[in-house]
Amino acid sequence: MEPEKYLKQDINLISLFGLKICSNYSDGIATIYISTANAKRPDEHPLTIMEVVDYAKQAVRSDFPDENKYLLVVTEKSVKEIYADLRKNEPSEK
C-alpha cells in the first residue's frame, strides 16, 4: 500500500506513533508543539516517524493556517519538559 493511501485510511496515526501535541498562547501568538519524545514506529508499519510528523504538521496547519498567529514547532522534548521550560520563562509576579 502506498503511504498516501495509508494516511487517508488511518486518522489515528499521531496517537499510534506516540506523538503528542500541546500548545501555549502568549503575546498574541499560539505556539503548537509536536513532541516526538515518545515516538515509536509500530512494527511492520509502512510509514516512518518523520512521515507521520509531516502528516501531523499538515493536519495542524490545515486547522490553523495563519502562520503569523500560529507557530508550529517540532521538538524532541516531552510535553512535561515543554511546559517546564515555559514556566521558567514566565515573568515573575511581584
* The model's pTM: 0.82
pLDDT at residue 32, rounded to an integer: 95
What is the helix (H) or strand (E) element at residue 51, kind and residue range? helix 49-63
Query: For the chain, which residues make up each domain, given as ranges?
Result: 3-88
Per CATH, domain 3-88 is 1.10.3470: no
E strands within the chain? Answer: 20-26, 29-35, 70-75
Identify the band that residue 41 occupies on the pLDDT scale cut at 50, 70 and 90.
very high
Sign of the CA dihedral with 15 first, then 76, 43, and 4 last: positive
pLDDT over threshold 50, residue 1: no
Q: How many Cβ atoms from other residues are within 10 Å of residue 28's Cβ? A: 7
16 Cβ neighbours under 8 A, 6+ residues apart: 10, 42, 45
pLDDT at residue 85, rounded to an integer: 94
Reading the block at residue 5, the C-alpha cell is: 493511501
